[in-house]
Structure formats: C-alpha cells, structure tokens
Amino acid sequence: MPVIIATFQAAPGKEAELEAALLAMIEPVRAEDGVLEYTLHRSPTIAGSFLFYERYRDQATIESHSATPYLAALLARVPELCAQPPVITTYEPVASIND
C-alpha cells in the first residue's frame, strides 16, 4: 500500500482559495477505486500550510489518480495559489500498530 504525502504552502493572501481548491478534491477522489485514504490536514502553526495524506491499493491506482482531470486542474492552479511547487513524497509502509 503506497502512501503519498503532498504538502502545499499558500501564497500570501491565497490561503482560503488554496484550501477551497484542495477541499474540492475530496469528493471526486472518494469515487476512485483503490484510493484507501485521502485526508487533507491544515497546519495549526504555519499559516496556509496544507498536507494531504494519501494511501493507495497499488501503484496502478496512483497512476490512475495522477491522470484525472480534476488533479490536472488543481495542479494548473498551483502557480497562482502556492508560494512554491507542492512537495510530493511517496512512502512504503514498514510497520503499523494495525498489523
């Protein structure tokens, strides 16, 4: 089960717009087969900082998600909404309290 951590930092004055754009991803992603978790977090200490925690069934699911038009639309807005490009990191699980 691959995990992706995607962090976004809003450009000054664009915090609410970025949050709305990120929130708009939840419903369409909910309908994607193989997406196990897609949770948006907001930093309580860094203004305009957001993090998506994403868990996928497999690499094919990530590739399918990456090709969606709504993700492309979000990424097209990044230059206007974000102070810098998002940081997207992939991880593989090692151990869990759920094992």
pTM, rounded to two decimals? 0.91
Percent of the chain with pLDDT over 70: 99
What is the domain count for the chain?
Answer: 1
Question: Alpha-carbon distance 43 to 52, whole Å?
Answer: 11
Contact 47, 15 (CB under 8 A): yes
Kindly report the number of other CB atoms within 10 A of residue 84's CB atom: 11
Domain presence at residue 2: no
Domain presence at residue 53: no
Domain presence at residue 36: yes
Q: What is the pLDDT along the chain (99 residues), one digit of tens a residue?
A: 899 999 999 999 999 999 999 999 999 999 999 999 999 999 999 999 999 999 999 999 999 999 999 999 999 999 999 999 999 999 998 998 976
Question: Alpha-carbon distance 43 to 84, whole Å?
Answer: 17
Q: Residue 90 contacts by C-beta under 8 Å, 6 or more apart in sequence?
A: 2, 3, 4, 62
